[in-house]
Structure 1
Amino acid sequence: MNGWLILLAGAMTGVGVALLVGTLVPTHPDLHAAMARLDPRAVEVDAFDPSGRHPRLDRVRRRVLPPLVEALGLRRFAADLHVVAQTAEDLAVRKVAYALAGLAAPVLLAVVLGATGVVLPGVVPALLGVVLAGLLFFVPDADLHRRASTAREDLRRAASVYLELVALERAADAGTNEALDRAANIGTSREFVQIRDALFSAHLAGQPPWQGLADLGAANGVPEFGDLADITRTAGESGAAIYASLRARASSLRTQLLTAATAKANAASEHMVVPVAMLGLTFMVLLAYPAFARILYG
């Protein structure tokens, strides 16, 4: 039984390590992947290049991962994956690696205990492995949701700043297209790089710049860029004055961000009530224990 457990643990550990190494090995993206990054509507990027330094590994990933993605239904995370610059194949690898790690951990523990003389029934590590694998299988989903929420908050902050910059450019008598381009070139953060890429992608496609902003908001799940696109579309198509509208939308967005930050801070403060109360109760018990012990035991 111990020999079987050792072989099973080694096999699962090897598969997990191979999957992790496969995701960490750098590859050379082709022209298709580079152009897809400029398109905010592209939620999937072909990250497997058969001309890389590991063609066999890339070939295996091409054959295994796409069917696995379809079987697990990971396309539903397209917006979250796009906002964190990952693919469904990356998520599939993480989920499988976490599940294999959870499946192998109890087996490895049983092997270690067996080496010390404590023999567990074979069904115990098997059941624990299945339960732990099932739990860890969903950990990448929760982590993806958390990172996507953080990325969207950063994009909303960037949208608020971008609205103000566009309004200032319009106040300086810049045209709509010129105002959008100038405002996007001011920022140097990752979010402003995405805005510039969206504008450049719209320019390459022969579309107006506000269409690129609308596509950026739709692809990342940030409707604030869609609002900006609607406002600038009005100015671009009918020549309407949009300075007041831009400032009002920026002010409204700042208020929403401030309200959300305040609610998050209040929730964090409420979560600290229980630990602080437990700490105070423990301190009172430590102070009162000598007196109670003297009364009870003389």
Structure 2
Amino acid sequence: MSEFQTALATGALTATGLVVLTAALVPARPSVGARVARLDGARRSVHRRVLSDAEAAASTAPARGPVGPSALLSRSVSRLGDRLEVLAADRGWRLRRTRADLAVLGRGTGEFLATKVVAGVLLLLLAPVCWAVLRVWGVPLPGGVPLALALVLGLAGFTVPDLALRGEATRRRRDLRRVVGVFSDLVAMNLAGGRGLPEALLGSASVSDYWALVRIRQALTGARLAGATPWQALGALGEELDVPELVDLAGALALAADDGATIRGSLAARAATLRRKDMAEVEGEAGEKSQSMLVAQLVLCTAFMVFLAFPAVHNLLATA
């Protein structure tokens, strides 16, 4: 690639980036969908976040000493996240899948968007720095290498947080599905003890401080304060977290409340089904890991046999 072509490609990409950045940052007249998205985001933002003991202690501890670079960086990222969240609401970006994954993890949309932007920009700026260091050391590189490397690294920094979010949210949903099965068993036992359905639901969610039961307990408590039914709260929580098992449980509870159906046996059967499904998934994952270990062992054995046979084969070829 000649210098003229490199300069032309760099100018075109820079102009495209400026146009996209201007279109994203210049405020436009929000549409009805954007206003509805902003109201929906404000409604979700008032939900309490489940904090661990360490996070709660850190949030309540008084600040001591001068503010360090890490604290300044954290504040800057937090401010950037707030602005990006407002921008997403103004533009009407729904981000349904991403919001569901963030809701499972108890993280905010602005924080995640800020992480994506910061990671992408840092890796984008890393390529020219590496190219300059190599040029100082005398390593000859074509002029188009920094541009291509910067684009690849910037794209990787922008997409890797999505992949990490998907994997972590999948693990959390799996834990939540297991808790839904245990929760169904607990509700059935409370109903067998003579409790009413709302009391059985709240009592079953209060047996532990595990994060999944805390989320269910918060939803049930919020429904009681708002005057809604517990199964409506469970259904809304299942839709927010994208957990179909919780939505199905809410539908079964609503059917029992409306039609007077016997729910205790249905809950026990539902819990048994969830346990069998979870056991099948665990066995499938164990089989996949066993196959991966078998392939790795075969590769190691093949490499060792090649290592042992190489001197003999080399001597035979040399004497031939």
Separation in structure 2 between the aligned mates of residue 237 and residue 68 of structure 1, nearest angstrom: 40
Which residue of 38, 57, 75 maps to 2:95? 75
Partner of 2:302: 281
Separation in structure 2 between the aligned mates of residue 70 and residue 142 of structure 1, nearest angstrom: 26
Please say if residues 74 and 88 of structure 1, whose CA atoms lie closer than 8 Å, have aligned partners that are also in contact: no
Does residue 37 (structure 1) correspond to residue 48 (structure 2)? The answer is yes
Q: Give the share of equivalent positions with the same residue, in percent.
A: 36
Partner of 1:136: 157
RCO higher in 1 or 2 (8 Å CA, sep ≥ 6)? 1
Moved more, 76-85 or 242-251: 76-85
Quickly say closer, same or farther: Cα 1:59–1:297, change in 2 above 3 A: closer
Does residue 180 (structure 1) correspond to residue 201 (structure 2)? The answer is yes
Quickly say closer, same or farther: Cα 1:65–1:221, change in 2 above 3 A: closer
Partner of 2:312: 291
Q: CA deviation at 1:292?
A: 1.9
Partner of 2:289: 268
Separation in structure 2 between the aligned mates of residue 221 and residue 261 of structure 1, nearest angstrom: 21
Q: How many residues align?
A: 253
Q: CA deviation at 1:273?
A: 3.7
Amino acid at match of 1:99: G
Amino acid at match of 1:230: G
Partner of 2:216: 195
Quickly say closer, same or farther: Cα 1:192–1:137, change in 2 above 3 A: same
Partner of 1:163: 184
| Residues 122-146 of structure 1: CA deviation (Å, up to 9, x unaligned) | 4321221012212332111111111
Please say if residues 170 and 176 of structure 1, whose CA atoms lie closer than 8 Å, have aligned partners that are also in contact: yes
Please say if residues 84 and 114 of structure 2, whose CA atoms lie closer than 8 Å, have aligned partners that are also in contact: no
Quickly say closer, same or farther: Cα 1:126–1:183, change in 2 above 3 A: same
Q: Which runs of 5+ in 1 are unaligned?
A: 1-30, 39-52
Q: CA deviation at 1:232?
A: 2.3
Amino acid at match of 1:295: L
| Residues 199-241 of structure 1: CA deviation (Å, up to 9, x unaligned) | 0111111011111111111110112112222222233334432
3-state SS of 1:188 partner: coil
Q: CA deviation at 1:66?
A: 3.0
Which residue of 214, 239, 244 maps to 1:223? 244
Separation in structure 1 between the aligned mates of residue 112 and residue 92 of structure 2, nearest angstrom: 10
